[in-house]
């Protein structure tokens, strides 16, 4: 099976001492929806622009649908791109904006000249097929009534649709999207997320979607490539990234509220201890180093079981989120707030007040162990029925 997009060893630097991309490898299946996600400056937009051909990589190869395109011009790559600012042509109507990619690819340079172009043979037939294609796409995106307007007369959401229509009209095998939702208000953004997913399913093309918003990436993607400082930290399905982060920084990036991190030590026998308490049932083969233990907010409980790691803590703040609560608790003797997610049902009949003492606990099975290089460490888990430490 050919890949929808294949990247091999892409390097790019604008200043020699500060590379933007370092050896990016990525294989995306045909028809897959892949998000490139990371904080600003991680190189995700540069990577997208290299895929589009708007930027040349210093080294490495790009192949689209099994066809090497590394040195091809953007227009020869058979791709479409949706920009953050939509990048509609301001002086053209919506219809002209959507028709432009087809006019450019189907009409010869001379036939595009103003006035003179009207004399080109066959121009009228080509124009009428283009007009039909434009109307078809406009119907799909429900923007037919807008075809006669100029971009300045449209709302943000309408411009977004026009930009999508312009991308769809040439039926590319690869869609590139550079933060297309970031200029919309929160409600519309959630709505457009659903529409983009539908669109992807309907068109069946490969989508590469750049975003800094992990929620967008998690909700829409088949797979996510999480980038940091010009490298891909992890490439996997949303649930892989969430439940088995390959790197501490992946764990911290994915999930809201973000994951809790505790310093941990590993002794010569491979036993892990956290804040001076042994983590029962967790052993690793990589011994003697400092490490971090990370626990998702929903994995922290307010009641301890025998095998748990248990802290005494003070409740500092309660956030109501409707069906659930986020608690911020400060463990004794530590200047750190632990985020705990509890459902409203779990708290019923158990009123909490800020300043109150809590027992917080998690089990080794729910904890992720990361070495001093931030990489995930292999651990063996076994049931240790003996309670080693209490709060």
| CB of 109 vs another protein, minimal distance in Å | 7
Q: Which residues of 264-273 are buried (b: 16+ CB within 10 A; e: fewer)?
A: bbbeeeeebb
Specify the residue, 48 or 225, whose C-beta has the smaller distance to another protein: 48
Q: Is 27 exposed, middle or buried (0-12, 13-18, 19+ CB in 10 A)?
A: middle
| Separation of alpha carbons 82 and 69, rounded Å | 20
| CB of 83 vs another protein, minimal distance in Å | 4
Specify the residue, 182 or 219, whose C-beta has the smaller distance to another protein: 182
Specify the residue, 165 or 309, whose C-beta has the smaller distance to another protein: 165
Specify the residue, 70 or 197, whose C-beta has the smaller distance to another protein: 70
| CB of 335 vs another protein, minimal distance in Å | 44
Specify the residue, 150 or 229, whose C-beta has the smaller distance to another protein: 150
| CB of 122 vs another protein, minimal distance in Å | 18
| CB of 219 vs another protein, minimal distance in Å | 25
| Separation of alpha carbons 61 and 258, rounded Å | 35
Cis amide linkage into residue 257, ω under 30° from 0: yes
| CB of 7 vs another protein, minimal distance in Å | 18
Task: Kindly list the distances between the CA atom of residue 38 and the CA atoms of 218, 235, 248, 293, 388, in Å, as whole numbers in the listed order.
Answer: 12, 12, 14, 22, 40
- 246-252-256 Cα angle (round to 5): 125
Specify the residue, 6 or 179, whose C-beta has the smaller distance to another protein: 179
| CB of 86 vs another protein, minimal distance in Å | 8
Specify the residue, 85 or 332, whose C-beta has the smaller distance to another protein: 85
Give me the helix-helix angle, 186-203 and 156-168, nearest 10°.
20
| CB of 73 vs another protein, minimal distance in Å | 8
| CB of 113 vs another protein, minimal distance in Å | 9
- Residue 64: beta bridge partners? 5, 67
| Separation of alpha carbons 77 and 59, rounded Å | 18
Specify the residue, 53 or 297, whose C-beta has the smaller distance to another protein: 53
3-class DSSP assignment, residue 286 = coil
Q: Which of 284, 300, 308 is nearest to 370 (CA)?
A: 284
Q: 9 with 25: CB under 8 angstroms?
A: yes
| Separation of alpha carbons 299 and 340, rounded Å | 8
Specify the residue, 207 or 253, whose C-beta has the smaller distance to another protein: 207
| Separation of alpha carbons 41 and 230, rounded Å | 8
Specify the residue, 53 or 245, whose C-beta has the smaller distance to another protein: 53
Token pair listed for 207: 């989508």
Token pair listed for 126: 């080509």
Token pair listed for 44: 């995700």
Contacts to another protein by CB under 8 A = 49, 52-54, 73-75, 79-81, 83-85, 87-91, 100-101, 104-105, 109, 112, 166
| CB of 152 vs another protein, minimal distance in Å | 12
Q: 216 with 181: CB under 8 angstroms?
A: yes
Q: Which of 332, 338, 274, 333 is nearest to 302 (CA)?
A: 338
């Amino acid at each position: 099976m050919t890949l929808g997009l294949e990247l091999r060893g892409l390097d790019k630097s604008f200043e020699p001492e500060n590379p933007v991309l370092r050896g990016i490898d990525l294989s995306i299946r045909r028809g897959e929806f892949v998000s490139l996600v990371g904080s600003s400056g991680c190189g995700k937009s540069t990577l997208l622009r290299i895929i589009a051909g708007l930027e040349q990589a210093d080294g490495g190869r790009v192949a689209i649908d099994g066809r090497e395109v590394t040195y091809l011009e953007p227009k020869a790559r058979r791709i479409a791109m949706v920009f953050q600012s939509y990048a509609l042509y301001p002086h053209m109507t919506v219809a002209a904006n959507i028709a432009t990619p087809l006019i450019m690819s189907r009409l010869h340079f001379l036939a595009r000249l103003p006035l003179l172009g009207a004399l080109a043979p066959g121009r009228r037939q080509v124009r009428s097929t283009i007009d039909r294609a434009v109307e078809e796409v406009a119907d799909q995106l429900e923007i037919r009534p807008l075809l006669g307007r100029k971009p300045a007369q449209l709302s943000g959401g309408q411009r977004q649709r026009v930009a999508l229509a312009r991308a769809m009209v040439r039926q590319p095998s690869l869609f590139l999207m550079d933060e297309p939702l970031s200029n919309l208000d929160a409600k519309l953004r959630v709505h457009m997320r659903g529409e983009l997913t539908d669109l992807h399913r309907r068109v069946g093309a490969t989508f590469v979607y750049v975003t800094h918003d992990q929620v967008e990436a998690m909700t829409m993607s088949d797979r996510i490539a999480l980038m940091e400082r010009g490298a891909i930290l992890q490439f996997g399905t949303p649930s892989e990234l969430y439940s088995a982060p390959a790197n501490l920084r992946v764990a911290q990036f994915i999930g809201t509220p973000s994951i809790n991190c505790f310093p941990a030590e590993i002794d010569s026998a491979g036993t892990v201890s956290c804040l001076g308490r042994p983590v029962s049932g967790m052993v690793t083969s990589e011994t003697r180093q400092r490490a971090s233990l990370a626990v998702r907010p929903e994995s922290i409980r307010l009641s301890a079981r025998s095998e748990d790691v248990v802290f005494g803590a003070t409740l500092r703040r309660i956030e109501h989120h409707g069906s659930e609560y986020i608690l911020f608790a400060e463990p004794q003797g530590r200047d750190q707030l632990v985020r705990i997610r509890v459902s409203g049902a779990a708290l019923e009949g158990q009123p909490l007040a800020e300043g109150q003492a809590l027992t917080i606990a998690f089990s080794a099975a729910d904890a992720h162990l990361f070495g001093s290089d931030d990489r995930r460490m292999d651990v063996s888990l076994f049931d240790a029925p003996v309670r080693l430490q209490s709060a």
